[in-house]
Structure 1
Amino acid sequence: MIGEKSLGQWGKLAGIGLVIAAVAVAVVIFVARWIYDLSGVQNFMATYPGEYHLPDFVEDGFPAWARWTHFLNFFFMAMIIQSGLRVRQQQKPPAVWQPKKGGKKISIHLWLHTSLDLLWILNGVIFIVLLFISGHWARIVPTSWEVFPNMLTNMLQYASLQWPEENGWVNYNSLQQIMYFVIVFIAAPLAIISGLRMSEWWPKNATKLNKIYPAPVARKIHFPTMLFFVMFIVVHVFLVFATGMTKNLNHMFAGTPAEGWGGFFWMLGAVIVTVGVLFATRPLVLAPIASRFGQVSAR
């Protein structure tokens, strides 16, 4: 039994869900292709091809800082999601951590989750500072209202499987730009402020502040935000592979617009390192690291 249902019942529900999803996807593709071929829609897409010209100060390519912060963001996000799910599911922690100067004891998984949050935030701050210093910000911050009609063109192109012709080395399409803006400037801050509200750093005796921003509200924000990140990562990775794997991976991992397999092998190495660390984050490995910053005990 898993919850109130048996494994077989969950399997049947999953099967029904997959069939419904497959039918829904087929219907969306069929309707999108029909709309795509309409003459009025073709004229609209000719006017708004899916992207607009960036300001002249934006340089082509992805500098080293953008590629490294991109990898570290993926690395920390994978570990944060894993540790967050462990915190959510645990009933009895395998070990607890307490600050050296005393304080409330927390599970070692929560200590890891919180520590990773700090590193993820630091990486994000570095990324945003360099983003605006370099002028690279205009790649992910819309600078024209044309982004919205162009985004509609992109949505129709993706829904009809008529992948937009693009060159991410020079410019993102408008749907990509909007999604990256949402991830960096909306979803990430929501994850931070909701996580902070549920953390041990939040002032417990701030009555007025706690009334304005109660913990249940933060919980209702935090978990859906995590699901949004997961959904984004899945779709993002799928499109990277589906719209030109070697070209896209060379852009972000090898730092070159040239064709070749260099970016793929860099990506493969990044995935191997991340998966290896995910498997290594067990109490026996975490305890010696956590003990450098506090006291670790069995209970």
Structure 2
Amino acid sequence: MSPSPARTSPRSRWLKLAWMVPAALLILAGVVLAARWLRDTPALQDFLSRYPGFSELPDGAPVGIPAWVGWQHFLNSLLILLIIRSGWLIRTRQRPIGSWTRNNKGLIRTRNQPKKISLDLWFHLSLDVLWVLNGLIFYVLIFATGHWMRLVPTSWDVFPNAASTALQYASLEWPLENGWVNYNSLQLLSYFAVVFIAAPLAIISGLRMSPSWPAKARINRFLRIETARAVHFPVMAFFVLFIIVHVTLVLTTGALRNLNHMYAATDGTGWTGFWFFAASLVVMVVAWVAARPVFLRPVAGLMGKVGR
């Protein structure tokens, strides 16, 4: 009998990736040194003077961040955190923690037998519904109040200004921040990409991956499920990267003022926004802990049949 192959422990697998930490630090140091050198050249000095990092807003653009944006931001943060968690578990969990089958009665009835899905997928889809509803409310509010002008580029100079902002960030000499009045161009492009590109792509690809589609659905002619899967995961990776960079910059470019903008709807340096932010973190931790089978099963049982 041939010897069984040795199993690689989780610790040894992580040790094999340990080289990535010093490699990332070396790359980061190289980027900073290169950016600082470039900033001292006459050509880049002239470029930074011409494009300081901001594009002018259209006439009539609102000033300040209203309270509803803060509530939308909190709900979106909470939901996207749980959506990413549940999506990752769907992708990596080898043994489902349970199954869920929709009740074929009430307002929604079908001729075919409802499909059985994993409890993880049920939780993911339920969160998706709430996230989409929150997003639809956000779309209505930004266009009804004119807040869209703070999120949509309206001038081509946004691109050189974004490059200028990226260079300033990379050189560790932060650009002047005044998000209460106007986001810098790199923020503007990032927020536009999240709201108007990544979010719709996540919704469209997620809908296509739903198990409710018949095997021979006509949608296969326009969007195959393989294509949807190829889009959905990179979009999730984009959201993860955006969140990491976004939170890092919020905390390193004037944390108290930034937190007041998003959580207290004020432009100041007091501690009100920080405490609201701390409370939101507590809610996220509680929700993360509660997203377990012992809590999910009773809730899922209200909407269908839960099995093993």
Name the TM-score class by shorter chain: over 0.9
For residue 263 of structure 2, the aligned residue among 223, 228, 253 is 253
The structural deviation recorded for 1:184 is 0.7
Q: Distance in 1 between matches of 2:213 and 2:53?
A: 44
Moved more, 279-288 or 210-219: 210-219
Moved more, 111-120 or 62-71: 62-71
For residue 47 of structure 1, the aligned residue among 46, 50, 57 is 50
Q: Distance in 1 between matches of 2:48 and 2:225?
A: 46
Q: Distance in 1 between matches of 2:256 and 2:176?
A: 15
For residue 293 of structure 2, the aligned residue among 283, 292, 297 is 283
SS of structure 1 residue aligned to 2:55: coil
Q: Distance in 2 between matches of 1:57 and 1:63?
A: 16
Q: Distance in 1 between matches of 2:213 and 2:133?
A: 19
Question: 1:129 aligns to what?
Answer: 140
Question: 1:147 aligns to what?
Answer: 158
| Paired residues of 1:196 and 1:202 also in contact (CA < 8 A) | no
For residue 177 of structure 1, the aligned residue among 174, 188, 192 is 188
Question: 1:98 aligns to what?
Answer: 101
Give the residue type in structure 2 aligned to 1:243. Answer: T
Q: Distance in 2 between matches of 1:123 and 1:73?
A: 7
> Unaligned stretches of 5+ in structure 2?
1-5, 105-112
For residue 284 of structure 2, the aligned residue among 270, 274, 291 is 274
Question: 1:157 aligns to what?
Answer: 168
| Paired residues of 1:96 and 1:297 also in contact (CA < 8 A) | yes
Q: Which runs of 4+ in 1 moved over 6 A?
A: none
Q: TM-score scaled to structure 2, two decimals? A: 0.92
Question: 1:118 aligns to what?
Answer: 129
SS of structure 2 residue aligned to 1:106: strand
> Unaligned stretches of 5+ in structure 1?
none
SS of structure 2 residue aligned to 1:163: coil
Q: Distance in 1 between matches of 2:224 and 2:102?
A: 26
SS of structure 2 residue aligned to 1:153: helix
The structural deviation recorded for 1:166 is 1.5
SS of structure 2 residue aligned to 1:59: coil
Question: 1:166 aligns to what?
Answer: 177
Give the residue type in structure 1 aligned to 2:190. Answer: M
Q: Distance in 2 between matches of 1:4 and 1:223?
A: 28
SS of structure 2 residue aligned to 1:56: coil
Give the residue type in structure 1 aligned to 2:142. Answer: L
SS of structure 2 residue aligned to 1:15: coil
Q: Identity of paired residues, percent?
A: 49
Q: Distance in 2 between matches of 1:160 and 1:189?
A: 33
Q: Distance in 1 between matches of 2:51 and 2:135?
A: 32
Q: Does 2:10 correspond to 1:14?
A: no
| Paired residues of 2:177 and 2:253 also in contact (CA < 8 A) | no
SS of structure 1 residue aligned to 2:240: helix
| Paired residues of 1:253 and 1:267 also in contact (CA < 8 A) | yes
Q: Distance in 2 between matches of 1:72 and 1:161?
A: 32
Q: Distance in 2 between matches of 1:58 and 1:201?
A: 43
Q: Does 2:93 correspond to 1:87?
A: no
Q: TM-score scaled to structure 1, two decimals? A: 0.95
